[in-house]
Chain A
């Protein structure tokens, strides 16, 4: 639509021409080809905090103190100064441009963690509609914790995990949710998923998915807990039946006083842990059974098939645990099941994994796939955007490049597929990213694959730390004239002195303004080097 790459010509074109239907946002984003963060201020003097990210509406910059006990929130603003000379462009920026304060103003500093707790600096969720932020603090992890009270063996335990809900406007703590002697995977938001106002927290240790609602008033309200029980009245029903059995057992337990403290949570249901599988496991097993039963008509063939595919693997199915969960919409969850060993380890490639779609309202499993299933991969390839469940309020989520909405990303995926040695390995690798983690991609238009081309290994929309190189990372236009538009160079301008030290960098891009922070850290507790990249 734009005839020229000159910004003034484009503004005139915009006055006259209407873009094709449904592409008005894409055309507006093309102005980011002209407004790029091309100027870098190296080694800005900034407070020694660990900067986490910009909120997705660009209103706040979230950071944590070095000792991981306080939250500091900044408001991004722009550099402003005046110059009296005629040729202002030729002048260097004034010295105050090198200060962090010129770009960010501190709003408040709130202590979140008490003495023995630490803020989990990899965890942050933002609810844009109310400007609420969710943070987590936890005490130290205890490995080899004994499996008491229905806990899964092999999963570590944390004495106290607290989720804090804050109003980011003023830093007021609105509500807290505490989990005791539990384990929730907090790194990179893996164990928690926020969809609209619904929050799903996976307790790996007790194999329960807690669904909470964040109300406008700022309260965290329990909606349901899926795991041992599926429907809200399951527990009541089982309890009323178990009472008869429990009475006879209680008499026996009173004779063993030593057990009181450890078992006090489950004293009224002493037999349930042994005789019944958890509610969700029952749903899963019966779904698998029914699926296999339906495949054959003849009874003998059915039994053979069940014996081979179901009963042979029965114990493996029973031993599956919930690894990760995401919402697909307000009623459906995508649950990943796997073995205990893979649940907490980082590299889960060698462990079998399964993906199930669960309807929370009917409490039924809708479908169940192994993580190498081609059917699931086809859905992933075609409808990747729908796996990134986007709430109705955040429209920008629709424009984050993925291989389902962007031809260049799709080409990249296809080239990886063609190079892959084995198709099932490729499918497994791709499906390992399911379920997706919440809010892990930056909505900045500079990561839009149809606008810019950049090296995926050095920088991308996903906010993860990466290996740092001394070479600047180039952003090249995708369209004519295919020129280099800007470079992002982390670390000091002249490159660091110690070339051998391993450096990692993280990049924080403002979602709207042409402003980015690059933070380079060496692994020896030296202060990090922060550069500010902006459009001068």
Chain B
């Protein structure tokens, strides 16, 4: 008996007897609709590499909290942070 399931053995030969194979006329209903993107804005950059975050979740939270404390007052903090990395000897008085 032709069916979608083919001639697979079954315990009771009357099982699956009600199943009708798909008609060729209704084959168009079976084709799922395909969607095509209209833009390429969401394409990843061609050299993108996905890797695991090196910091564990605890450290990520700690850094996040630290950044949140600095964030709202960002305008004020600009005056304060000195330039890093320049170790110039100061003339002692």
In the complex, A146 has a CB within 8 A of chain B: no
Instruction: Give A375 to B62 CA distance when docked, in angstroms.
Output: 10
Judge if B50 is at the interface, Cβ distance under 8 Å: no
Q: Is the interface of A mostly helix, strand, loop or mixed?
A: helix
Q: What total count of A-B pairs have CB within 8 Å? A: 49
| Contact A357:B62 (CB < 8 A) given known A294-B80, A297-B75 | yes
Asked if A366 contacts B80 (CB within 8 A), the reply is: no
Chain B residue contacts of A386, Cβ below 8 A:
56-59
The 0/1 profile, CB within 8 Å of A marked 1, for residues 41-84 of chain B is: 00000000000000111110111011001100101110011000
Give Cα A386–Cα B55 distance, bound, in whole angstroms: 11
Asked if A329 and B56 make an inter-chain contact with CB atoms under 8 angstroms apart, the answer reads: yes
A248 interfacial by beta-carbon distance below 8 Å: no
Q: Chain A contacts of B55 at CB under 8 A?
A: 329
CA distance A293 to B75 in the complex (A): 12
The distance in angstroms between the C-alpha atoms of A290 and B73, with both chains bound, is: 11
Report A379-409 CB contacts with B as 1/0, cut-off 8 Å. Answer: 1000100110000000000000000000000
Q: A295 interface residue, CB < 8 Å from B? A: yes
Chain B residue at smallest Cβ distance from A245: B92
- Inter-subunit contact B65/A375 (CB<8 Å): yes
Min CB distance B76 to A, Å, is 5
B6 on the interface (CB 8 Å rule)? no
Residues A367 and B62 in contact, CB atoms below 8 Å apart: yes
> For the complex, is A241 an interface residue (Cβ under 8 Å from B)?
yes
Check if B59 sits within 8 Å of A329, measured CB to CB. Answer: yes
Q: CB-CB < 8 A to A387: which residues of B?
A: 58
B20 to chain A, nearest CB (A): 36
Residues of A within 8 A of B24 (CB): none
The 8 Å CB contact of A297, one of B62, B63, B70, B73, is B73
- A353 close to chain B: CB less than 8 A: no
Interface string of A291-302 (1 = CB under 8 A from B): 101111100000
CA distance A237 to B86 in the complex (A): 12
Given contacts A383-B57, A386-B57, contact A295 B65 (CB under 8 A): no
Instruction: State whether the Cβ of A26 lies closer than 8 Å to any Cβ in chain B.
Output: no
Judge if A332 is at the interface, Cβ distance under 8 Å: yes
- Say whether A328 faces chain B, with CB atoms less than 8 Å apart: yes
CB nearest neighbor in A for B80: A293
* B9 at interface by CB-CB < 8 Å: no
Q: B58 touching A379 by the CB < 8 A rule?
A: yes
Tell me whether A379 and B77 are in contact in the complex, defined as CB-CB below 8 angstroms, given that A294-B69, A329-B56 are known contacts: no
Which residues of chain A are within 8 angstroms of B61 by Cβ–Cβ distance? 379, 383
A279 to chain B, nearest CB (A): 13
* Chain B contacts for A295, CB-based, 8 A: 73
**A294 to B72, alpha carbons, bound, how many Å?**
9
The interface bits of chain A over 345-359 (1 if a CB of B lies within 8 angstroms of the residue's CB, else 0) are: 000000000000100
5 pairs of A and B residues whose beta carbons are closest in the complex: A386-B58, A383-B58, A294-B73, A367-B66, A297-B76
On A, residues with C-beta under 8 Å from B are 237, 241, 245, 290-291, 293-297, 328-329, 332, 357, 366-367, 375, 379, 383, 386-387
Beyond the given pairs A290-B81, A294-B70, A366-B63, 20 more chain A to chain B contacts, judged by CB atoms under 8 angstroms and listed by A's residue number, are A237-B87, A290-B77, A293-B76, A293-B77, A294-B69, A294-B73, A294-B77, A296-B76, A297-B75, A297-B76, A328-B58, A332-B59, A366-B66, A367-B65, A375-B65, A379-B58, A379-B62, A383-B58, A383-B61, A386-B56
